[in-house]
Structure 1
Amino acid sequence: MNGHPIMVVVDPSDDVACVNTAWGAHDPAAGVIAVHPTPGATGIGDICLDVLAALGKPIDQAATLIGAGGREKRISHAATAWTLAERIWHIIVLRAHLLTRRQRARLIELGHDTDAVVTVVWHAAEPPEWAAELPGNHGWKIMTGLPQAIVAARFARKPWRAAAAARRVLHCTPAGQEPSPHADGDAQKQALPPLPTSDFPFFRADAYRSLGPFMRDDDQVYAAFGFRGFEVVDAVYGYGMDMACTWILDQDELGTVSADAGSGGLALDADGLAVTPSLSRSAMERPAALPPGLARHLPATGPEQLESFPHRVGSTRALRLFLADLVADCPTREHAIARIRGAQAGFFLHGLLLAVPALLDRATGRGLMARLDADHVERIRARVVHPVHAAALAALLCTGADPADLAVVPASALDAEGATIEVTQSPVQGFRLPGESLTFGIPEYARSLMIAARHFHQLCGHDASEPLLGPGIGRDNQHLIAVGRLAGVTIPALVEEGSGQLPWDLRTVCWRIGEALHRREAALARWSSQAGKDDDV
């Protein structure tokens, strides 16, 4: 990475306003940290602990970082890894005149390694030679004050900004509902009442009967929700429908979606209106059995369509990523079930059957027993200093994979953005999944944890083929258990002992059962109409 000139602010009078300006600029979430060195601490590891403290990490856990390479080097690697992962672009160092030359050299090196601007505040008279105090092949700029240095740093290093999220196209909203409430983040976090256990064709109707205006006023659910019980469930259900429809209609942007070995693929038809299977004729002649009683209810339009239906579509990588995104930020099991049922209804509108396991309320897996919401991530980020330990816990909660499988996942299995990780599933009670690795999606708010672990892995000299998360799991899951306690996170039993039950998303399959009832033209016309209304507001 290209280094930036060191910004130097000379404050010989030790003005309190200068210190207050530094603390006012401190905002790790926005990419700016203010480092206050520990008085009397002269080691490189000490100043790196100060950097970790500025990043909000618990430095009392520094002992967990000790390993091959020595204490100072490992702490230094952790500081670099977290600075990179948290996208810090400006490092302000107070009391720089009290640091040793080696400590200042390490801070300058940190800025170079992370492409961050380093501003040192010198609370003393200027030295005779700045080159002797700021070692390294770089330039420096003497600033008139810290506010000017902050402005100059912003011009020197454009702060990273996340790309604006694309506006969600809400296609499959239930009749009579406006789409906007479903995309409301607050609506998706409200507590839900007990849900019906029925399958998706009956789920919404049963929810209306049990939670709508027919409720008894002496019912416990009524006491908690009034007549809004169905309303809050329907908002989550509708959001699942919208996500399903958006994903299906966006498949033309992804091209043909390849299925796992032994299965067909998904591809859009010539008009780009519906997803159809790319199976060979021999595969069509020998379709796997549909769920009992479903075949006679297929929404086909005539004998010529029935000839090629049903088709079983394999669990593709894209489908797995969709299922991961569907439940990634669900705060409770009930939210996940409501979204899954809504997604099933959305698939059905497109001539697809998303067949999830029976008794979904008892199933295991992500969203149901394995959950990683934004609150979990914030607690992990604030309470765990070791990047690999933090990532291991996040990966376990996000994927629902067996810890033994996660322990052997190589660093190369994590993609460049930290958005997906591939895990090879081991046999479970006699069941064996297809030979290919399973791809799990990582929620956006958790990706910095995975990226920090990879940076730490690389800085410690490990190869991409070596296990990434193993050191964070430990023998008999000891590190996972300890980190879970620190973060206040309950680690679920992801596979019930003796049951042979696989996570729900790995048992979910997709069938092509008929022509799409929801067409692309209608969806786009509705979207254009809604966008026009929004523009008029």
Structure 2
Amino acid sequence: MPLTFTPHPFHPADMPPVTLITDETDDVELARAAHRSANPARGRIAVDPTPATLTSAFLARDILAALGRTAYAPTRAPVITAAPAWRAVACWFIVDGIRELTVLRAHLLTPERAEQLSVLRELTGIRLILLAAPSSATQAARLGTCLAETGLTDGLLRLTADDARAFFTRSLPTTTPLCPTFPLSAAPVSSQPGAARSQYRAGQLAACTWLARHRRATGQVPAQRDLELFLSRLTCLSPDPATTLARIRGAQGGFTAEGLRLSVPHALATAQGPGLSTLPFTARTAHHISRAVPGPPQLAALASLLFTGAHLDRLVQARVDDIDPDGRFLALPQPESAEFDHHNPPPPAWYAVPPSARPFLRAARMFRQLEQVPGHFHLFSKSFGYRLEALVKDAGHLIPALSHLHPGPAWHHQARLTHR
């Protein structure tokens, strides 16, 4: 697993020591205490490796399952293999803020698994806790050799079973939510009285506020890139097209009051793009689709379909460098035309990424960088083509863009802001 992405690998001196808990009686209550102390929302997980498995792929999948991501039996897509699974684990640890990993039955670790845990620790800086119950002195010696050969014994902290009970009790969270809670679904905004007027005013105020900030910063008419990011932010969380249209008209009114003209395609009702061929990408949506798709590039591809509403031909061309390191915006290459060619490519379409989707885009970028691919390589590898149908079925979520395959550019990419 190459160590080539930001944040840089941790120096051993900057990492917590590996903690080895030796439980000679194999007390089941100690294992239960380890599980009770785990809470992914607070950066702690505990994994009990699947019995009678030796390859490191199974341990990686067990860790993904502990993170709440299906790894063994997806409904359609192939089971994730060893190398992608460990890359996915590293990405999700960093994105989700996992700081502590407890591995039960550590006396059964193989050199391969120990090496992967060592690399994972170096990549993420986690606190690694190994709970071992060796049945003989020979098994205990084999574990010690395995840890020493993989660099996990430097500053090793050893605890007895009695010490470990207090250790896990001290680590207990005050609350342990099983899953995030979400508000009940509300009726579409456009069906509520006065909604169109309020959405028009919201678009108008957003345009005036954004333009005032931009003018203070640059003193010029916003560039096309900035305009596209503003329009996609304004509309990507719209609950329905009627709300989107009201916000766009309000933005036009706000720009008109400032002496500018916002022109958009005439046939907005049949156009594609944010707010028209999308659904709001909320925390609930993110939680739902992330439970069944463990691979970061595949999960990011589904998320991008949901919040951009872009045609598949555009998304499949997205490159690693097209997403910024913080996952705040995505640029999608556009097709060549009579005005542009290979030497003078058309400008990309810019999309603001909703906050709930940003972790997925960041994880996908990290995943591809772990593969040491250049920045011009495809971002959403192994996500489209014959794999897409299986991924969509696994995610179990409606994706409007797949039934709204408009071949032209997105509406916000066609919008223009000019002086009146």
Q: TM-score range by the shorter chain?
A: 0.7 to 0.9
Aligned positions of 1:198-209 closer than 5 A:
none
**How far 1:394 sits from its partner (Å)?**
1.7
CA-to-partner distance for each residue in 1:259-290, whole Å, 9 max, x for gaps? xxxxxxxx2xxxxxxxx54xxxxxxxxxxxxx
Q: Does the 8 Å CA contact 1:61/1:385 hold for their aligned counterparts?
A: no
**How far 1:322 sits from its partner (Å)?**
1.2
2:379 to 459, 462, 468: 468
2:101 to 91, 101, 109: 91
Q: Distance in 2 between matches of 1:248 and 1:142?
A: 60
Q: Distance in 2 between matches of 1:241 and 1:15?
A: 65
Which residue pairs with 1:458 in the alignment? 369
Which residue pairs with 1:388 in the alignment? 297
Q: Does the 8 Å CA contact 2:45/2:102 hold for their aligned counterparts?
A: yes
Q: Which amino acid aligns with 1:439?
A: W
**How far 1:500 sits from its partner (Å)?**
6.1
In angstroms, what is the RMSD of aligned CA positions? 3.5
**How far 1:64 sits from its partner (Å)?**
3.1
Are residues 1:134 and 2:147 paired?
yes
**How far 1:139 sits from its partner (Å)?**
2.3
Are residues 1:190 and 2:186 paired?
yes
Q: Distance in 2 between matches of 1:495 and 1:50?
A: 35
Q: Which amino acid aligns with 1:395?
A: S
Q: Distance in 1 between matches of 2:165 and 2:234?
A: 45
Q: Distance in 1 between matches of 2:168 and 2:404?
A: 57
**How far 1:151 sits from its partner (Å)?**
6.7
Aligned positions of 1:353-502 closer than 5 A:
353-371=261-279, 373-374=281-282, 375-426=284-335, 435-474=346-385, 478-493=386-401, 501-502=408-409
Are residues 1:246 and 2:209 paired?
yes
Q: Which amino acid aligns with 2:269?
A: D
Are residues 1:340 and 2:242 paired?
no
Which residue pairs with 1:331 in the alignment? 239
Structure showing greater Rg: 1
Q: Distance in 1 between matches of 2:240 and 2:33?
A: 42
Give TM-score scaled by structure 1 length: 0.63
Q: Which runs of 5+ in 1 are unaligned?
A: 155-184, 196-227, 257-266, 268-275, 278-312, 514-537
CA-to-partner distance for each residue in 1:365-419, whole Å, 9 max, x for gaps? 1211133512332222111122222222222222233222222222122211122
Task: Give the aligned length.
Answer: 385
Q: Which runs of 5+ in 2 are unaligned?
A: 1-8, 174-181
Which residue pairs with 2:193 in the alignment? 229
Which residue pairs with 2:21 in the alignment? 9
Relative distance call for 1:186 and 1:82 in structure 2 (3 A) is closer
Relative distance call for 1:370 and 1:38 in structure 2 (3 A) is same
Relative distance call for 1:131 and 1:241 in structure 2 (3 A) is farther
Q: Does the 8 Å CA contact 1:242/1:343 hold for their aligned counterparts?
A: yes
Q: Distance in 2 between matches of 1:243 and 1:390?
A: 31
Which residue pairs with 2:78 in the alignment? 64
Q: Residue 64 of structure 1: SS of its match in structure 2?
A: coil
Which residue pairs with 1:320 in the alignment? 228
Relative distance call for 1:130 and 1:36 in structure 2 (3 A) is closer
Q: Distance in 2 between matches of 1:390 and 1:431?
A: 35
Q: Distance in 2 between matches of 1:190 and 1:348?
A: 33
Q: Distance in 2 between matches of 1:246 and 1:484?
A: 38
Q: Residue 120 of structure 2: SS of its match in structure 1?
A: helix
Q: Residue 40 of structure 1: SS of its match in structure 2?
A: coil
Relative distance call for 1:455 and 1:194 in structure 2 (3 A) is closer
Q: Distance in 1 between matches of 2:253 and 2:360?
A: 34
Relative distance call for 1:346 and 1:89 in structure 2 (3 A) is farther
Q: Distance in 1 between matches of 2:333 and 2:134?
A: 58
**How far 1:236 sits from its partner (Å)?**
4.3
Are residues 1:145 and 2:145 paired?
no
Are residues 1:112 and 2:112 paired?
no
Relative distance call for 1:493 and 1:449 in structure 2 (3 A) is closer
Q: Residue 472 of structure 1: SS of its match in structure 2?
A: coil
**How far 1:6 sits from its partner (Å)?**
0.7
Q: Distance in 2 between matches of 1:373 and 1:324?
A: 12
Q: Residue 353 of structure 1: SS of its match in structure 2?
A: strand
Q: Distance in 2 between matches of 1:432 and 1:150?
A: 65
Percent identity between the two aligned chains: 29
Q: Residue 354 of structure 1: SS of its match in structure 2?
A: strand
Q: Which amino acid aligns with 1:407?
A: V
Q: Residue 279 of structure 2: SS of its match in structure 1?
A: coil
Q: Distance in 2 between matches of 1:238 and 1:150?
A: 53
**How far 1:107 sits from its partner (Å)?**
1.9
Which residue pairs with 1:219 in the alignment? none
Q: Which amino acid aligns with 2:286?
A: V
**How far 1:153 sits from its partner (Å)?**
13
Q: Distance in 2 between matches of 1:61 and 1:332?
A: 34
Q: Distance in 2 between matches of 1:462 and 1:58?
A: 26
Q: Distance in 2 between matches of 1:193 and 1:439?
A: 26
Q: Distance in 2 between matches of 1:325 and 1:146?
A: 49
Q: Residue 390 of structure 1: SS of its match in structure 2?
A: helix
Q: Residue 399 of structure 2: SS of its match in structure 1?
A: coil
**How far 1:349 sits from its partner (Å)?**
4.2
Which residue pairs with 1:82 in the alignment? 92
Relative distance call for 1:345 and 1:28 in structure 2 (3 A) is farther
Q: Does the 8 Å CA contact 1:243/1:343 hold for their aligned counterparts?
A: yes
1:47 to 52, 59, 64: 59
Q: Distance in 2 between matches of 1:133 and 1:436?
A: 53
CA-to-partner distance for each residue in 1:22-72, whole Å, 9 max, x for gaps? 333333333322212111112111111111111222113587366xxxx43
2:40 to 17, 28, 36: 28
Relative distance call for 1:104 and 1:372 in structure 2 (3 A) is farther
Q: Does the 8 Å CA contact 2:69/2:294 hold for their aligned counterparts?
A: yes
Which residue pairs with 1:122 in the alignment? 132
Q: Which amino acid aligns with 1:109?
A: V
Q: Does the 8 Å CA contact 2:206/2:251 hold for their aligned counterparts?
A: yes
Which residue pairs with 2:418 in the alignment? 511
